[in-house]
Amino acid sequence: MATPLTAAKLLKALRDEGLKVVEHRSWRTHNRNHKGPWGPLHGVMIHHTVTSGTAASVELCYNGHSTLPGPLCHGVIAKDGSVHLVGNGRANHAGLGDDEVLRAVIGESALPADNEANTDGNRHFYGFEAVNLGDGKDPWPAAQLEAIEKAAAAVCRAHGWSHRSVIGHLEWQPGKIDPRGFTMESMRGRVKERLAAGPGTPSPPPKPPVAYEPFPGAAFFAAGRRSAIITAMGKRLVAEGCGRYEVGPGPAWSDADRASYAAWQRKLGYTGGDADGTPGKTSWDRLKVPNV
């Protein structure tokens, strides 16, 4: 719980974190405070705009539209990593959400599923809109992801919050999908590292993408076959809750491996002969067995 930051303190916190901040029009006094209370504050909520282009997105978030007046957030995060401040105070960004989620944010604990819309989120959250179409195809440049990380960390640092005070709209209000294109768990991990490192610390270079074993063909999985790939497969099956091993998994293809893989196939929706425990390319690709 915290008293909202003043406009000057919010601006300083963002800049101290190393962000390029653009002050848009009269953002310092632009708010919806006449429609309800602003505070106490408990966290930071991340959204995507469903728009393209910085200028148009910033104007939309400042003005809003006929059914939802602006500001629609506090800051708009562009693809180049710049943060455009459009409001200070209550903003129309969070809407009604789940009271159990709010309690988890306050307690900085694991989030429950959001299945109710009974609590005023506009009162309790800072909101950042990131420019993205939200179609799962529009890219998230590294500079933009870093700016989301920095903006969330800046607010958390100013209030003494942990990374668990950062949530996505999809974790707050049933039916929402934003932000789409990265996971909030991964973003909270980035915020956690930044808070530990100190303000203004450059982000570490992105980790290389994980490489996965290509499907070796159904004939590979024959009785007596021994391979580190089979051990890696078994570990993934256990992680997916499909392990049927009394001991292991190990490198030798066994009945336990077949039973475990059949459980994975059933988890994917296969039935009958399509869930016989012999790996196929589609189910293998979805299992994502790491290179060994």
Domain boundary among 197, 229, 254: 197
Question: pTM of the entire structure?
Answer: 0.71
Q: Is residue 209 part of a domain?
A: no
pLDDT range class, residue 201, cuts 50, 70, 90:
confident
- Residue 54, pLDDT > 80, answer yes
CB atoms within 10 A of CB 21: 20
- Confirm if 130 and 73 have CB atoms less than 8 A apart: no
pLDDT range class, residue 209, cuts 50, 70, 90:
confident
Please give the pLDDT value at position 119.
Answer: 98
Domain boundary among 163, 197, 231: 197
Average pLDDT over residues 63-90: 97
Helices (H), the chain: 7-16, 54-63, 99-107, 121-124, 142-159, 184-197, 228-239, 255-267, 281-287
Domain boundary among 130, 163, 197: 197
Tokens of 136: 């799962």
Q: Is residue 86 part of a domain?
A: yes
Please give the pLDDT value at position 91.
Answer: 98
- The residues facing 129 across adjacent strands are 47, 76
Domain check: are 168 and 55 in the same one?
yes
Average pLDDT over residues 17-44: 97
Average pLDDT over residues 41-48: 98
- Residue 207, pLDDT > 70, answer no
Separation in Å, CA 163 to CA 125, 166, 263? 14, 6, 36
Please give the pLDDT value at position 203.
Answer: 66
